[in-house]
A and B are shown apart, each in its own frame.
Chain A
C-alpha cells in the first residue's frame, strides 16, 4: 500500500506539471485526467474509497468532459498552438515559479515542524461519510445546493447573452 501511495503521488505530480506546461489545450486536459486518476488512487490508499470514486466520476469524468467540450467549442484552429508557444516564453516561467517554490518550501517546512504522525489505518466508509454529511453538516449541504443553483443560473445567464449577441451583431 505504501508503494502504491508513493507511485501514485509521483504520477500525480508529473502529470500535473505536464498539464500546466503543455501548449495544446486537449493534451493538457488529458494529462490532468491522468493526474486526477492518480489522486483518486491516493485517496483509495488513504482509506477514502467514496472520495476516490467521486474523484473519478466528478473530477476526471464530469468536469474534465466539460472542459474538453469547451475546448472543442472554441475551435480556434491551427494558429492557437503557435500563439500559445509565443505566450509561453521560457523567461516568463522564472519569477512565478520561484515565488511558488518559496511558498512551497515554507509550507513544507511548516508541515515537517509538526512532528511525525502516521495516517490512521482505518477506512471511513461511505456510510460514515453519509451520516456525517446529513446530520452535523446538513446546513453545509443546503448551502452547497444554493451554490450549485446560483452557478446554474449564472452559467445560463451568461450563455443566453452569448446567443443573443450572435443574433444581433
Chain B
C-alpha cells in the first residue's frame, strides 16, 4: 500500500474546518450554526487522527473520542436552546435573541 502524505490529511481537515467556519459566519439559522460547529469539531478530530496515524500511536484516536464527547454534549444543549428559541420567538433566527430582558 502506497503511503498517503500527512499533509494531504491535514489539508482535508483544514478545508473542512474553513467550510464550517464560513458557515458559522454566514448563516443566521440556529440549526445551520450548530451544524457548522459540528463540521468544525469533526475537522479538528480528523486532524488529531491524522497526526496519530503519522506516528502510529493511538493517542490521536483517544483525542477524537474526547472531541466526540464534546460534540455530543454541545449538540444536546444547543438543540435544547434552539427549541427554546423557536418556542419563544417563533423563529430560528439567532438575531431575534439579541435583546437581553433581565
Interface residues of A (CB under 8 A from B): 1-2, 5-6, 9, 12-13, 16-17, 19-20, 25, 28-29, 32, 35-36, 39, 42-43, 45-48, 50-51, 54-55, 58-59, 62-63, 66-67, 70-71, 73-74, 76, 80, 84, 87-88, 92-93, 96-97, 99-101, 103-104, 107-108, 111-112, 114, 116-122, 124, 128-129, 131-133, 137, 140, 144, 147-148, 150-152, 154-155, 158-159, 161-162, 165-166
Contact = CB atoms under 8 A, between A and B. Distances in A.
B4 A155 contact: no
B20 A155 contact: no
A80 B4 CA distance: 43
Interface of B: 1-12, 14-23, 25-29, 31-32, 34-36, 38-39, 42, 46, 49-50, 52-62, 64-66, 68-77, 79-84, 86-88, 91-93
Contact of B54 (A71, A80, A119, A159): A119
Given A93-B26, A100-B18, A118-B5, A66 B36 contact: no
Contacts of B10: 111
Contact of A111 (B11, B20, B53, B91): B11
Interface of A is mostly: helix
Contacts of A97: 22, 26
Given A124-B56, A158-B83, 4 more contacts: A1-B2, A20-B27, A58-B72, A63-B71
Contacts of A55: 42
Nearest to B73: A151
- Which label, helix, strand, loop or mixed, suits the secondary structure of the B interface? helix
27 contacts: A2-B4, A16-B20, A20-B27, A32-B38, A35-B16, A39-B42, A45-B4, A66-B75, A66-B76, A66-B79, A87-B28, A88-B26, A88-B27, A96-B22, A100-B19, A111-B10, A119-B4, A119-B5, A119-B54, A124-B56, A132-B59, A132-B61, A137-B62, A151-B74, A151-B77, A154-B80, A162-B87
